[in-house]
Amino acid sequence: MTEMNAPLKPLTQLPAWSKLAAHYGAIKDIQLRQLFADAPERTAHFSAEGAGLFLDYSKHRITEETIRLLIRLAGEAGLQDRIDAMFRGERINLTEDRAVLHVALRTQRGESILVDGENVVPMVHAVLDRLASFAEQVRNGTWNGHTGKRIRNVVNIGIGGSDLGPVMAYEALRHYSSRDMTFRFVSNVDGTDFAEATRDLDPAETLFIVSSKTFTTLETMTNARTARAWLVQNLGDDGAVTRHFVAVSTNAAEVAKFGIDTANMFGFWDWVGGRYSMASAIGLSTMIAIGPDNFRAMLAGFRAMDEHFRTTPFERNLPVLMGLLTVWYANFFGAQTVAVLPYDLYLKRFPAYLQQLTMESNGKGVTLSGTDVDYQTGPIFWGEPGTNGQHSFYQLIHQGTRLIPCDFIGFCRALNPVGSHHDILMANLFAQSEALAFGKTADEVRKEGTPEWLVPHRTFPGNYPSSTILADQLTPEILGALVALYEHSVFTQGVIWQIDSFDQWGVELGKVLAQRIIGELCSEEEPPLGHDSSTNALIMRYRNKRDAEM
């Protein structure tokens, strides 16, 4: 057993855990109004900066003692050893017996990270170079379609980790993208996804990127076969596949079996988890959209945060602080969710992306040693861009009965400066975090002349915690840093909770569960059903209605 596998004391028996529990008892009713009145310079203490991101965590229900104890907990949980083990390429994904090396995707040429004695950095850069050359060819029209027409449309076919990163990054970096090309993302096995994505596309100008680590995922392979049929039917030649299909995968055999020349395949490795793969070849659509230079800038942003995480003392380490605050609210205040509220429309898919990153990683109920946890693990992440969310669900955060810690994300400079729009946008961000923290007392409401019966309704309890992440501008570098911030925050949480943040057995189950029923729905002879009575009745009803005359 390596050092990092040495049995740890159960989390709730760590000395810092009991100290935190006692500390929580002492400060649980503490008011942010009071904390700020007592220490007007509070933000100077409770803020940190790294990789171009400024984190203000002063509007949290914490004191210096809270942070001291949380950092002590991180120490007792062996966080630094685990960080080092990840960067060394150790097999910290225990249940899949794999290294966890998305950080290797962001290394510079000349660095060295060994997996089973082999330096993976040259492999990473060899693929990056091939990706860059291919992306350039598509962008400058050297790589044409089968009929000689220029490629104008790129459709990424993938799901989960092979979709959410590409689609989020494309939306986030749209400002930097080639505006004379169209990018679409087909993930759902619902035929509507493919139909709507391709209805206005000219097949002769369309490139499909089939992105699948395993190249066996039902949804992706179904969509890929449909895409191939659509292309061949429209162009009237099987040979067209060569110029219109490329693959991103770890499984060359399946790629070849599908009919894509492995010369047109871009590889990655089993030590890149699906939800951690947007900086790998899975980012091909991103690279075609924004160009190789911008893609490399994004990698540099990832790398800056990786280095910050690996080397910065925990007191000033952004992902560590954010991860520990998530633990503080989940385990001591009983918070069930975290809201992520980007004040930038380009980040509209960022909450969805984070849902997979956080919830697939830390939605675990068993520790690394196989025992059931007796504490909460990963909270539910959700959110929408501001200011839109303010006109819908923020009501519940302000005046509902639940404690929902929020992450506000904003930028000091607009990418589309239009009059005073950006100032108005940012004013809203600042106002929301202020209102959540400090609320409005009944007396303040009365002073506004509110009739007494209405006072309770117009009073805001406040004392709701939030972090604010500010950056200068949404650039490729900053997007990389932001994603890495959350990746490493998730890592920090997983280490504290003693779980495997890098497996996904629930997803694997989903991949096999539907197969039996697919056979029952798709075969001619309609085999007898052996499910529970509810499932049998639903399937029968579906079959009857489906086959009935309209």
Annotated catalytic residues are: 360, 391, 511
Q: Which is nearer to ligand G6Q, 218 or 300 (CB)?
A: 218
- Token duo for residue 159: 């799901």
Q: Which is nearer to ligand G6Q, 343 or 353 (CB)?
A: 353
Estimate the crossing angle of helix 79-88 against helix 292-311, to 10 degrees: 140
User: Least separation, in Å, of the C-beta of 382 and ligand G6Q?
Assistant: 18
φ, ψ at 453 (rounded to 5°): -65, -25
Count of residues touching ligand G6Q (by CB under 6 A):
15
Q: What CA–CA distances, in Å, run from 319 to 57, 256, 271, 453, 490? A: 12, 41, 21, 45, 8
Q: Say how far apart CA 265 and CA 277 lie, in whole Å.
A: 16
Q: Say how far apart CA 136 and CA 537 lie, in whole Å.
A: 54
156: contact with ligand G6Q by CB under 6 A: no
Cβ-Cβ contacts under 8 Å for 213 (sequence gap 6 or more): 161, 162, 249, 250, 251, 268, 272, 274, 277, 282
Within 322-361, which residues bind ligand G6Q (CB under 6 A)? Answer: 360
162: contact with ligand G6Q by CB under 6 A: yes
User: Least separation, in Å, of the C-beta of 209 and ligand G6Q?
Assistant: 12
161: contact with ligand G6Q by CB under 6 A: yes
CA-wise closest residue to 58 among 27, 35, 28? 35
Nearest position to ligand G6Q, beta carbon: 160
User: Least separation, in Å, of the C-beta of 518 and ligand G6Q?
Assistant: 17
Place of tokens 């990789």: 51
User: Least separation, in Å, of the C-beta of 378 and ligand G6Q?
Assistant: 14
Q: Are strands 337-342 and 118-119 parallel, antiparallel or unpaired?
A: unpaired
501: contact with ligand G6Q by CB under 6 A: no
User: Least separation, in Å, of the C-beta of 508 and ligand G6Q?
Assistant: 8
CA-wise closest residue to 429 among 363, 370, 347? 347
Q: Which region, judged by CB under 6 A, interacts with ligand G6Q, from 160-168, 201-209, 386-394, 453-461?
A: 160-168
82: contact with ligand G6Q by CB under 6 A: no
Place of tokens 């400090």: 438
160: contact with ligand G6Q by CB under 6 A: yes
φ, ψ at 236 (rounded to 5°): 70, 25
Q: Say how far apart CA 88 and CA 512 lie, in whole Å.
A: 34
Place of tokens 């060899």: 126
Among 107, 156, 212, 459, binds ligand G6Q (CB under 6 A): 212
Could you list the beta-strand ranges (E) of 92-218.
114-115, 118-119, 153-157, 182-186, 206-211
504: contact with ligand G6Q by CB under 6 A: yes
Q: Which is nearer to ligand G6Q, 161 or 342 (CB)?
A: 161
378: contact with ligand G6Q by CB under 6 A: no
214: contact with ligand G6Q by CB under 6 A: yes
Q: Which region, judged by CB under 6 A, interacts with ligand G6Q, from 214-222, 225-233, 292-300, 387-395?
A: 214-222
Q: Which is nearer to ligand G6Q, 274 or 465 (CB)?
A: 274
Q: Which is nearer to ligand G6Q, 41 or 97 (CB)?
A: 97
User: Least separation, in Å, of the C-beta of 157 and ligand G6Q?
Assistant: 10
Q: Say how far apart CA 106 and CA 276 lie, in whole Å.
A: 12
C-alpha angle 128/131/135, rounded to 5°?
140
Q: Which region, judged by CB under 6 A, interacts with ligand G6Q, from 169-177, 210-218, 320-328, 375-383?
A: 210-218
Identify the helix (H) or strand (E) that includes residue 209.
strand 206-211
User: Least separation, in Å, of the C-beta of 501 and ligand G6Q?
Assistant: 10
Identify the helix (H) or strand (E) that includes residue 468.
strand 466-471
CA-wise closest residue to 418 among 345, 340, 350, 342? 345
- Token duo for residue 533: 């009575």
Within 215-234, which residues bind ligand G6Q (CB under 6 A)? Answer: 217, 220
100: contact with ligand G6Q by CB under 6 A: no
362: contact with ligand G6Q by CB under 6 A: no
Within 242-281, which residues bind ligand G6Q (CB under 6 A)? Answer: 273-275
Q: Which region, judged by CB under 6 A, interacts with ligand G6Q, from 79-87, 145-153, 154-162, 397-405?
A: 154-162
Q: Say how far apart CA 87 and CA 477 lie, in whole Å.
A: 21
User: Least separation, in Å, of the C-beta of 214 and ligand G6Q?
Assistant: 3
Encoded one letter per residue, x for contact with ligand G6Q by CB under 6 A and - for no contact, window 505-524 reads --x-----------------
Cα-Cα-Cα-Cα dihedral of 422, 424, 429, 431, to 10°? Answer: 160
Among 127, 159, 330, 474, binds ligand G6Q (CB under 6 A): 159
CB 165 within 8 A of CB 274: no
How many Cβ atoms from other residues are within 10 Å of residue 260's Cβ? 24
User: Least separation, in Å, of the C-beta of 426 and ligand G6Q?
Assistant: 34
DSSP state letters, 428-470 = HHHHHHHHHHH-B-HHHHHHTT--GGGHHHH-B-----EEEEE
Q: Which is nearer to ligand G6Q, 100 or 324 (CB)?
A: 100
Q: Which is nearer to ligand G6Q, 81 or 254 (CB)?
A: 254
Contacting positions for ligand G6Q (CB under 6 A): 159-162, 212-214, 217, 220, 273-275, 360, 504, 507
